[in-house]
Amino acid sequence: MNPFFEFEADFVDSLRCIPMSVRFKLDTCGVKLKLHQWNKFTESDRHQTVDTPCSTENEIRNYRNLLHQLVEQRTGEIATDLAIDNNPPWNDAETVPESVGEKAEEVGLSIAQSQWQSLTPVQRFVLIKLSRSAHENANFLPAAKEFQLVQSGN
């Protein structure tokens, strides 16, 4: 499976921005990675963060340790840990978050509960993040199209 989304195509070759697959892992393992820290990572480091699994308890712990190690090695800083949400909204397939519904309306969409349920947790994560982020929300509509939430003609 490709760890990148089509709407990220303009930067995934260089990995100049933190891809959504890594951002999902950051929320999963509870580490805040700042863009200036990411920019100090080598290309190999960046690919390692993309390719390293972060699903099981052991993988999550190892991923957190990897990030702490990379941040310290590349920046001399200590990575910031964040609280881990045991019930993040992207795992709730029953409820379209208010921020997602509002952003969808802004771009002329309506996301039905059945559509929300058909998405993977990572896809729901992406829409939640893109509905909140002021600097990236231009990607909300391309992501919705990529996830087939847009009827033809929109």
Cβ–Cβ < 8 Å for 47, 81: no
- What is this structure's pTM? 0.91
Within 10 A of 68 (CB to CB), how many other CB atoms are there?
16
- pLDDT attached to residue 127: 97
Question: CA angle at residue 22 from 20 to 27, to 5 degrees?
Answer: 95
Q: Pseudo-torsion of CA 30, 35, 36, 38, nearest 10°? A: 70
- pLDDT attached to residue 142: 94
Angstrom distance (rounded) from CA 31 to CA 118: 28
- pLDDT attached to residue 136: 60
Angstrom distance (rounded) from CA 136 to CA 140: 8
Sequence-ordered list of residues with C-beta below 8 angstroms from that of 101, at least 6 positions apart, any chain:
111
- pLDDT attached to residue 126: 96
pLDDT tens-place values along the chain, 154 residues long: 578 999 998 887 888 899 999 999 999 999 999 999 999 999 999 999 999 999 999 999 999 999 999 999 999 999 999 999 999 999 999 999 999 999 999 999 999 999 999 999 999 999 999 998 665 668 999 999 999 998 655 4
| Helix intervals (H) in 52-151 | 57-75, 98-106, 113-118, 121-132, 140-146
- pLDDT attached to residue 51: 96
Question: CA angle at residue 19 from 59 to 78, to 5 degrees?
Answer: 60
In one-letter notation, the amino acid at residue 3 is: P
- pLDDT attached to residue 37: 97
**Token digits for 14?**
């260089």
Give domain limits for the chain: 6-81, 89-146
